[in-house]
Amino acid sequence: MVAVASALPTLPPGRSRFTGTLRSEWTKLRSVRSTTWCVLATVVAGVGIGILATASEASNWRHAGFVDKALFDPTSVSLTGLLFGQLAIGVLGVLTMSAEYGTGTIRATLAAIPRRPVVLVAKVVVFGAVALVVSEAVSFTSFFVGQAFLSGSTPTATLSGPGVLRAVIGGGLFLTVLGLIALGIATIIRHTAGAITTFVSILLILPLIVSAFPAKYGHPVGRYLPATIGAAMTSAIGQEHSDFLPAFPAWHGFALLCGYAVIALVVGGVIMVRRDP
């Protein structure tokens, strides 16, 4: 019996534990109704609002001015809905962490897996994978459907056009990283309403405050906001047409956005280790 047991293959404890944690987090994420509703809201907002935006542009194209036609970006217009889908994916990121604190099930999770960084990393991996698949699917669907609505009325774009594929892929990456930022905020705050309020304030309220500043102050600050970064990432024309001037080039802004996510998650991880569940 001893010889048979010693002959059986074994996995390193750390690897087997992390794999089990990933399976556990995946089960928790897919088994709650909030995940379905948030994914559905992301799809409806991303694609639906994109349809409304492109249909409106198509119907008003004849009456558009010369400047509007010269600066028209069919790619950005078709991806308009992503700027609303970011709220839904952010809520899902918050609930991935805060829901367990709200129900008290985080105690059972930490009792089964005492190493809290392992729990956080597993949540990041599982949520990040789901968010990336959903966000890229929504981004590409919004683009193709939007171009179909624009076709015959306005100039259209193809994935082979300059900056178009980068903008479509960038739209999905933008949503994914925003979701990770929301997850980090929820790890820090641990309260669903507080985390969602903070996330929405960063996305929507802060740009309004910055836009009220004189240009010499608002423009340098505005380029660091997620909203500005998202506008540049989903535009095929270039960062010079972003809402705040000047904006970072798309991939530079994306790197900055990833930095925000890393900071939020690291701070959340440190706090998670130091405090009681």
Query: pTM of the entire structure?
Result: 0.88
Q: What is the pLDDT of residue 152?
A: 82
Residue 62 has pLDDT above 50, yes or no: yes
Residue 222 has pLDDT above 90, yes or no: no
pLDDT in tens, 114-142: 889 999 999 999 999 999 999 999 999 99
Residue 233 to residues 3, 75, 79, 277, Cα–Cα distance (Å): 60, 11, 10, 38
Say which residue the tokens 């890393």 belong to. 262
Using left for φ > 0, alpha for ψ between -120 and 50, and beta otherwise, residue 65 falls in beta
Task: Let me know how many helices (H) and strands (E) the chain has, helices first.
Answer: 15, 0
Integer Cα distance of 68 and 110 in angstroms: 55
**Nearest to 195, CA basis, from 207, 209, 185:** 185
Give the distance, in angstroms, between the CA of residue 133 and the centroid of all CA atoms in the same chain. Answer: 11
Angle, CA 272 vertex, CA 104 and CA 107 arms, to 5°: 25
